[in-house]
Structure 1
Amino acid sequence: MEMNFGNIKVVAFDADDTLWVNETYFREAEEEFAGMLEGFETKNKIDQELFKMEMKNLDIYGYGVKGFMLSMMESALDLSNNRVSQATLAKILHLGKEMIRRPVELLDGVEEVLQELQGRYRLIVLTKGDLLDQERKLEQSGLSDYFHHVEVLSDKKEKNYAALLAHLNIDVSEFLMIGNSLKSDVLPIVNLGARAVHVPFHTTWQHEMADPPKDLNGYATMNSLRDVLKYL
């Protein structure tokens, strides 16, 4: 779909799986977690129960590795009827800490795109998750100097975006959001009257999955972040 980006002044980027790799590490951790509990349940059951626990705890812990780690520990206790060993619980803690310590791996084309857009647009980061972890990743990424503003939201719903755009005095007609999640980065933005670009990542968390709308204007799907430069 052709879109007119002529009056865009502010370009916002999601962080995880848009600027750098993230979801891949969660899938790898889930595999390790299932291996730790294979004596209690099947892998499919462990995966299902862990996801249910994450959804149950989302309002308490929010998004990010720390909430994921706590949900793994609670799931391990439930799935084992409290018979899981202290050594296994320690391994789960270690697994979560290792996720937090993972080096930041930029996605292909990220810095090239930011270099091209810097100075022509007001660039911001709009992400969600654990504040400390996201600040750490941004610092380690080496991308901080490209952005005018960084915001870590508790969630990415219409009300969150609307409040932030109002706070930053950004006109929705001049705003473009770029991200990998239809559910979080595209649909709420388009519903507000702004525009969005969907750049899918090869791995998507179950909670972030959404069917592409058939009759919704205001967004375009692109194969690569570099494709954005054809329009901006």
Structure 2
Amino acid sequence: MRPITAIGFDADDTLWQNEQYYRLTEEHFRTLLGEFAEGEHISARLLEAEKRNLSYYGFGIKGFTLSMIETAIEITEGEIPARIIGEILDIGRELLRHPVERLPHVEETLQALNGQYLLVLITKGDLFDQERKLAQSGLGDYFDAVEIVSEKSATTYRRVFSGLADGPERAAMVGNSLKSDIVPAIAAGAYGVFVPHALTWVLEHVEPPTEAPRFRQIDHLGELIGVLDAITAA
């Protein structure tokens, strides 16, 4: 009996690029408000707004756009021109239209694992945007199930892996966020396979659980099969 029968995959910055588009949008936002404040101050205020608003808007582009508008109003003490509000809405819509750029080794890895394991896409964010990116990625057929959730917690992973597979103890979660993909999956009893990305949102940073027996780290998805084989052989 194999120790792992199901694998969960994060989407953004694990299967395809995502954070780089947020960074470009933030740079555009800083330019729009450049006459009112310094760039670093604008970014700091935006991050504060994002933190405050997570419990209201959740994760995703729509919440990010609302946080940009809120930040613009705060920085200008309510004097922000309507023209700039309109431009913020435009760059938010542009972010919703960004192309899907798959990361290296993604398709060949999913193709090799398809049929050998139950594959589940587990991602958080805006429902329409995540569905759009999955459709444009061309990767949807490799997955047996797709779960778009509002938050990733140990409870989330227990529910998903117990409902779809043989429980978290016989599952692995693969992703670029230690906070969302790895730490809670290990807490649920699963393996956590960390795939670092050069750009990861600051609110997703936590210390890696290097002492956890079920923690693994790889440089890219092309190394995943080797890790799974090693777990099976142990």
* TM > 0.5 fold call: yes
What residue in structure 1 maps to residue 214 of structure 2? 218
CA-based RMSD of the aligned residues comes to 1.3
Instruction: Confirm whether residue 156 of structure 1 aligns to residue 152 of structure 2.
Output: yes
1:191 partner amino acid: A
3-state SS, counterpart of residue 123 of structure 2: strand
Question: Please, which runs of 5 or more residues in structure 1 have no aligned partner?
Answer: none
1:164-175 mapped onto 2 (5 Å cutoff) = 164-175=160-171
What residue in structure 2 maps to residue 12 of structure 1? 8
Runs in 1 of length 4+ with deviation above 6 angstroms? none
Structure 1 residue corresponding to 2:196, chosen from 188, 194, 200: 200
CA separation in 1, counterparts of 2:7 and 2:139? Answer: 15
Q: Deviations over 1:106-142 (max 9, x none)?
A: 0011001011111111111000000111001001111
What residue in structure 2 maps to residue 143 of structure 1? 139
CA separation in 1, counterparts of 2:43 and 2:158? Answer: 35
Instruction: Confirm whether residue 68 of structure 1 aligns to residue 61 of structure 2.
Output: no
Structure 1 residue corresponding to 2:33, chosen from 29, 32, 37: 37
Instruction: Confirm whether residue 129 of structure 1 aligns to residue 129 of structure 2.
Output: no
Structure 2 residue corresponding to 1:231, chosen from 214, 227, 230: 227
- Shift, 1:214, TM fit: 4.2
1:222 partner amino acid: I
TM-score using structure 2 length: 0.94
- Shift, 1:168, TM fit: 2.4
Q: Deviations over 1:182-227 (max 9, x none)?
A: 1110000111111010000000101001112342221111001100
1:203 partner amino acid: L
What residue in structure 1 maps to residue 232 of structure 2? none
CA separation in 2, counterparts of 1:223 and 1:217? Answer: 19
What residue in structure 2 maps to residue 188 of structure 1? 184
1:65-144 mapped onto 2 (5 Å cutoff) = 65-144=61-140
Check conservation: 1:190, 1:217, Cα contact below 8 A.
Answer: no
CA separation in 1, counterparts of 2:68 and 2:206? Answer: 25
What residue in structure 1 maps to residue 55 of structure 2? 59
Q: Deviations over 1:86-105 (max 9, x none)?
A: 11111111101111101111
- Shift, 1:164, TM fit: 2.4
3-state SS, counterpart of residue 178 of structure 1: strand
Q: Percent identity?
A: 43
The number of equivalent residue pairs is 228
- Shift, 1:171, TM fit: 1.6
Question: Please, which runs of 5 or more residues in structure 2 have no aligned partner?
Answer: 229-234
Check conservation: 1:128, 1:153, Cα contact below 8 A.
Answer: yes
What residue in structure 2 maps to residue 48 of structure 1? 44
Check conservation: 1:134, 1:152, Cα contact below 8 A.
Answer: yes
3-state SS, counterpart of residue 172 of structure 2: strand
Check conservation: 2:152, 2:181, Cα contact below 8 A.
Answer: yes
